[in-house]
Structure formats: C-alpha cells, structure tokens
Amino acid sequence: MATHERKYVIIGNGVAGTTAAEVLRKNDPNCSVHLITNEPYPLYNRVSLPRFLQGKLQEQKVMIRDFAWHEQRNIQLVTETLVTSINTDERVVVADNGQHYPYDALLVATGGWANPLRVPGTQETQHIYNFVTLDDTKTIIARILESRTALAFGGSFISYELCDGFAMRKLDTIWLMRGPYWLRNALDPDGGEVVDNIAKKFGVEVIHGDEIEAVIPRDGVPSYVKTKKGRQIQTDMIGVGLGISLNTKILAGTAVEVHKGIVVNEYLETNVPGVYAAGDIAEFFDRTINRHHTMGTWDNALAHGKIAAINMAGGREPYIDVPTYTSPLFDVNIAVVGSAESGNPELEIIARREPGEKGNENYRRLFFRDNKLVGVLMIGSPKGRKKLVDLVKDQHVFATPAEREAVLTLR
Ligand SMILES: Cc1cc2nc3c(=O)[nH]c(=O)nc-3n(C[C@H](O)[C@H](O)[C@H](O)COP(=O)(O)OP(=O)(O)OC[C@H]3O[C@@H](n4cnc5c(N)ncnc54)[C@H](O)[C@@H]3O)c2cc1C
C-alpha cells in the first residue's frame, strides 16, 4: 500500500464510485479523495427506483448515503459538477465548475445515460421520460398522478420497469416494443410469452413488432403516438426504455482505449497508467468467460468499486465474480446469472417452461459452453438460483445431454 499522501479522483458517485471512495479511505487514512458527480445527491439506490416509482417505497428509503457520511470520512463529495475532460499526461481532471483536480490515480465510474426518443414531435412535447435517475423518477411520479393513460416503449429492462410502474399506479398502460418479444437478446419466444402473460394479468396491453414513428402533441403534451404500422395510441405520458449510452466522452483526446465501454484488464486498469474504470462503464476482462464485456448490474458495480480501489492504492487483486441481476418483474422475479446471450453461436441453450405460483409460469433458460454452465435466466420462482450461481462459479462439467437437462429442474 502507498506510504506517501496520494491524491485520488473518482468521477461518478454511483455504487462503483462511492464504494471505491470508502475502500480508499479505509486503506489509506492520509490520502485525499475527490468524488465528483453531476447529480445533486449522495449515493442512492438505483435498484430501488422502480419500487419508488410504483409507490411501494418512500424517497428516503432510496437514499444510501448522506453528506455527513462523506464529511466523517473526509471524502470530498463534489455535486452538481460535470467533468468535461481529462489530461492523462498532466494527471488532471477538468470540471465545468472551473476547477482542476490533480490525481495520482483516477477512477472513471461514470455509468451511462439513457438514450432519448428521437422521432418527430418529441421537441414540441412534454411528458416523455427516461428512467435512470432519482430526479427522473420524481418527475415521472408527478406526471403519473395527473394521468390516466401511459405508454411504455422499448424492449429493455428499463421499459418493463416503467410499464410495471405505470400499471401498479393503475394507469391504462400499453407496452410497445420493436422486437418480437421482450429481452430478445436473452429470451426465446416461449420466455417472451411468459412475460407477456404476466404483464397482461396486470391489465397491460402488449404490442410487439412496432415502434413510435412520431409523437403528435396538442398544447405541448402528447395527444397521441403514431406507430410505423399505422396505429394511433392515445396517451398522457410516454416512458422510454431504449437502452443507455455509456459516458465515455470525457476520455476523448486521451490515449485511454475505449470500445463499447472503457477497456480494462481484470485489475480494472486501463492501458494508461494511473487510470482505472469500474461499474457499468467498464468493459472488463472477465475471467469466468475469458473475454471482455460490459455488465450493467448493481453487484458487479459494487464489486468493481472495491477491487479498483484496492489496485489504485497499490494492491494487485483481480476481479473474479459471476455477475448476477435479480429484480421483481410484476408479481414474480427475474434473475440473470453470468453470460446469457441468445445470439452467441458458441453456446448450447436449453429451456423449460412450466406452471408456477399465482397463476404464473416458471421459465428457465440455461447457457452452456464446452458442457459448462455459463449463464442462467430465470423468470418466476427464484428457487434454485443460488445452486445455479454456484454451478456457474465452479465451472462444473455436465458431460451428457441428460445431465444438462437435469439442471433445468434443479431446486
Ligand atoms: C431504474 C433502474 C433499475 C435497475 N434495476 C436493477 C436491478 O434490479 N438489479 C441490478 O443488478 N441492477 C439494476 N440496475 C442497474 C444498476 O443500477 C447499475 O448497474 C448500477 O447502478 C451502476 O452503477 P455505476 O456506479 O457503475 O454507475 P451509475 O450508478 O450510473 O453512476 C454513475 C454516476 O456518474 C455520473 N456521471 C456521469 N458522467 C459524469 C461526468 N462527466 N461528470 C460527473 N459525473 C458524471 C452519473 O450522472 C451518475 O451519477 C437498474 C438501473 C436502473 C436505472
């Protein structure tokens, strides 16, 4: 560990950045830590935003840290400040408040911002919402309270969270998506139908294979939406879940390698000395699948923050973990473990659909590479999830088709 006073700068105070700040302080009482964010809040729980949206959780329960927590640890939290550039030769971060923040080691933990809807009419129309931040959530709730109808658009995780929120708040909800079924990169038509049936139980009308062509405003609010297939959908508000774009722009002009995200090795180091990346933004080398990829999950970001901080302070610890994503999906659960990609020709994929509880179905999809379980997608009951995570971690070999089939019913 470092013995002289080191300067650490962290861009982004999500779970990756805030965890890194905490670990740096624990490991080095004498260092300086600047944690910079464009948002006005200390760390809050993004995973809890859907339940806040649905009205099942109060705003204060969404907050994880307060300003005092940072003061007590001598972590300089700089809010409402956008980092605009980085000079990796001079080792300095430049922000829109005019300040320059010098660093010995820098962590970029900037996550991603939601892709907006770009069709004719959006510029002239209010009440079209992305759903990523606490402020997004507050604004959506305010509009829900004065609305009767809502449209959720997209085939991403965020689109179902929006749809779920609208339906739980008793709006007449339509869920419109381009693909033939939800989450088409990981599910198959059977899995898509299971999700549709759950949504329909909550009164949601699901429309596949169509998309918004234009928003037609009246007095600045959506009057109706015109779709490519010629539908006209009346709605008071539109929730948009069209994925996120990773915030890599601040690295423009540096030698830091950027692909989809910021490319880092298993120690979360970039190719430029002193610069690290963690969380959603990191395109990290994943030893469990032997290649680089990005992973947009809370647990992954938290673990990255910890490992990055250890290595920034002179340690040498690789990130080795099986990423997991769990979330409520209307009145059931969805869990994704490891690498669950339909389009990957290297994977053997098997699935099972069976009756579940509360009139829902259970659906399980397994992804094998070289007879080892590398990915799992479960909808419905979460029973058996922990055993499946362990099987992915252990790299257990399932030599015969019968052995692989048996994993479909493992509880
Ligand atoms: C609605 C919603 C529900 C989710 N549900 C789940 C779930 O159920 N399970 C799960 O595992 N994951 C879930 N996720 C994903 C999970 O929340 C993310 O993977 C995780 O929060 C990423 O953390 P992070 O620290 O990498 O980045 P972020 O939390 O995105 O934090 C990055 C921060 O950096 C700031 N920033 C960006 N650029 C700059 C800049 N130039 N200057 C200053 N600040 C900057 C951003 O504004 C942001 O505050 C959900 C996400 C959302 C939005």
269 vs 5: which has the higher pLDDT: 269
- When pLDDT is averaged across residues 236-250 and rounded to a whole number, the result is 96
* pTM higher than 0.85: yes
Average of per-residue pLDDT values in the chain: 95
pLDDT band at 370 (very low <50, low <70, confident <90, very high): very high
Instruction: State yes or no: pLDDT of 180 exceeds 80.
Output: yes
Q: Which of 19, 64, 258, 280 to mutate to test the pocket of ligand 1 (most atoms within 8 A of CB)?
A: 280
Cα 16 to ligand 1 centre (Å): 9
Cα 46 to ligand 1 centre (Å): 7
Establish whether residue 9 lines the binding site of ligand 1, counting it when its CB lies within 6 angstroms of any ligand atom: no
Instruction: State yes or no: pLDDT of 111 exceeds 60.
Output: yes
Each residue's pLDDT tens digit, 288-346: 778 898 989 999 999 999 999 999 999 999 999 888 899 989 989 999 998 888 888 88
Establish whether residue 111 lines the binding site of ligand 1, counting it when its CB lies within 6 angstroms of any ligand atom: yes
From the number of C-beta atoms within 10 Å of its C-beta (0-12, 13-18, 19+), residue 124 rates as exposed
Establish whether residue 294 lines the binding site of ligand 1, counting it when its CB lies within 6 angstroms of any ligand atom: no
- Look at ligand 1, atom 4, and give the residue with the nearest C-alpha: 47
Establish whether residue 110 lines the binding site of ligand 1, counting it when its CB lies within 6 angstroms of any ligand atom: yes
- When pLDDT is averaged across residues 80-95 and rounded to a whole number, the result is 98
Establish whether residue 325 lines the binding site of ligand 1, counting it when its CB lies within 6 angstroms of any ligand atom: yes
Establish whether residue 327 lines the binding site of ligand 1, counting it when its CB lies within 6 angstroms of any ligand atom: yes
pLDDT band at 1 (very low <50, low <70, confident <90, very high): very low
Establish whether residue 39 lines the binding site of ligand 1, counting it when its CB lies within 6 angstroms of any ligand atom: yes
